[in-house]
Amino acid sequence: MDLIEQVRLNIKDTLKFLTDRIAGGADIGIILGSGLGGLVDSVERPKVFAYNEIPHFPQSTTVGHAGNLVIGTIADKKVAIMQGRFHYYEGYTSTGVSFPVRVLGSLGVRTLIVTCAAGSLRPDLKAGDIMAITDHVNLMGVNPLIGPNDDEVGPRFVDMSEAYDRGLLKIAEDSAKGEGVDLKEGVYVALTGPTYETPAEVRFLSTISDAVGMSTVPEVIMANYLGMRVLGLAVITNTPEAKHKLSHDEVLVEAQKSSEKLIKLIISILQKV
C-alpha cells in the first residue's frame, strides 16, 4: 500500500471514531500552543478525546500540551480545539505533524486559528504581548507536503502569498480594539528546535522576522493546502535583551500569564467570524 492510500485509510478510521461520538462536525479549528490550553474551559457541551484514544493520532510529549481534542461550541460556533500540538523535534515525520490538520479538514473545518508561544526578536515586542502573525519564514528545512501528492486533496504546488488571511487579521484587529488588547503584528520564523537560539542566531533572525518559535508553520502550510483560512496568534514569552538562560518552564509561566488575555481575544474573534 502506498503512502497516499495509507493516509486516506488512517483519516477514514480517525473520522469514523470521532463522528460515531459527536453530532455533526466543526466549522472552526483552533490549535493551542505551550501553556495556552485554558480556552477549552470556555467550550459549551464539550466532547473531550485524549489523543491516545484517537486512532492514528500522534501523542503530545511536551510539557504544557495536555493532549486532548475538544469538540463543542464557543460563541455559537462549532469548534474543534487541539489542546496541545506536535513538533518535528519530538521525532514526528511531516505526515505525523500535519495529520491532525487533515483530520480537522475532514471534520468540516474551513477556518483555522493557530496559537503559539514565541520569542521576541525586536525590542518593542515584550513578554506578555500578543502578536498577530502577518507572514512567516520557514527555516525548519522540512515541509509537510514533501512526498507523493494526493491530487484529490490539494495541489502539488501551493500558493502561500496570503498564508494568513487578511480578512481574519482585520477581525482580530477590530476584536483587540474592542477588548482593549494591544495587538502587535509581525513575521514569525520557525526553526525545528528543540534548542533555543544562540545570540548569533538571534541577530540573524532579527533581520528577517519579528518573533521565533518551533511550531505553527507546518500546520499553516497544510491548512493552506486544504484551502482553509488561517489566523495566527503568537504569545511573546521572552525578549531579545534578556541576559539570563532561557528555559521551557519560563516559557510556560509567561504563556499562562497571557492566557486570559488571549482567551478573551479569541472568543471575541469567534463572535465575529
Per annotation, catalytic residue among 26, 80, 163, 214: 214
The reply to whether 214 belongs to the active site is yes
Per annotation, catalytic residue among 68, 138, 209, 238: 238
Cα distance between the two ends of the chain = 41
The reply to whether 65 belongs to the active site is yes
Per annotation, catalytic residue among 26, 80, 82, 117: 117
Per annotation, catalytic residue among 60, 87, 118, 219: 87
| Alpha-carbon radius of gyration of the chain | 18
How many C-beta neighbours within 10 Å does residue 247 have? 11
How far apart are alpha carbons 192 and 142 in whole angstroms? 9
How far apart are alpha carbons 251 and 138 in whole angstroms? 22
The reply to whether 247 belongs to the active site is no
Per annotation, catalytic residue among 90, 173, 201, 250: 90
Per annotation, catalytic residue among 51, 65, 131, 138: 65
Chain centre distance of CA 243: 28
The reply to whether 117 belongs to the active site is yes
Nearest in space to 253 (alpha carbons), one of 63, 114, 82, 122? 63
Q: How many distinct helices (H) and strands (E) make up the chain?
A: 6, 9
The reply to whether 34 belongs to the active site is yes
Per annotation, catalytic residue among 10, 89, 106, 143: 89
The reply to whether 211 belongs to the active site is no
How far apart are alpha carbons 46 and 159 in whole angstroms? 35
Nearest in space to 58 (alpha carbons), one of 33, 83, 86? 86
CB 130 within 8 A of CB 181: yes
The reply to whether 131 belongs to the active site is no
Q: Any residues with CB less than 8 A from the CB of 39 and at least 6 apart, and which?
A: 30, 32, 74, 81, 259, 262, 263, 266
> What would the grid cell of residue 246 be?
532561557
Residues annotated catalytic, as ranges: 34, 65, 87, 89-90, 117, 214-215, 238, 248
